Each structure stands twice: as C-alpha cells, then as structure tokens.
Amino acid sequence: MNHFLAFYVLALLTDFAFPRSAFGWHKALPLLAYGIAIELIQSQIPYRHCSLLDVIVNGVGILAYVLTLPLIRRLPVPRQPANSRNSDHGKT
C-alpha cells in the first residue's frame, strides 16, 4: 500500500509541477524508472531486498493516477483574484 500511495502522489505532483503538458509517457516513464532505481539500490544494501512486486505496485499507483485524473480535474481549485497576483510586495 505504501508503494501504491507514494507513486500515486508522485504522479500527481509530477503532473502538477509541469502543467503545460498532459500526463503521458514522458511523465510516467521517469517515475517508473525512479521506482526501478530504488529497487536496484535496495538490492545492494545488505538489510534490504529488491522486489519486482514493488515495481509492479509502483506502476499500478501511476496507472491509478491516470485513471482518476478526469475526476481530479473536476475538483474545484481555489484561485487567487487577478488583482492580488500583481501585488506591490517589496515596493517602497
């Protein structure tokens, strides 16, 4: 469950970090590669182990994000009023 939730949230954060492009392979593959890298590093640590199941669950978390993306986009997002975006912070 931890891997599923972690990669669901990572997919969400990746998508929102780069809002000008849709969520696709160019965002999903680096996340999956990151999950694989984590498992490969764990295989080199004596008290940890590499798990293919963890990589699969990482991918399922990313896929779950893709499947729930239409619902997420329907959520209301609070926005700043246009006049408060260009405030006079720092002017004397």
How many angstroms separate the CA atoms of 63 and 69, rounded?
Answer: 10
Contacts by 31-39, CB closer than 8 A, 24 or more apart? 31/7, 31/58, 31/62, 32/58, 32/59, 32/62, 34/10, 35/3, 35/7, 35/59
- Provide the 8-state DSSP code for 80: -
Mind listing the pLDDT tens digit for each residue in 3-46?
A: 999 999 999 999 988 888 888 899 999 999 999 999 999 999 99
Written as one letter, the residue type at 13 is L
Mind listing the pLDDT tens digit for each residue in 42-65?
A: 999 999 888 899 999 999 999 999
Q: Who's near 35: CB < 8 A, 6+ residues apart? A: 3, 7, 54, 55, 58, 59
Q: pTM surpassing 0.85?
A: no
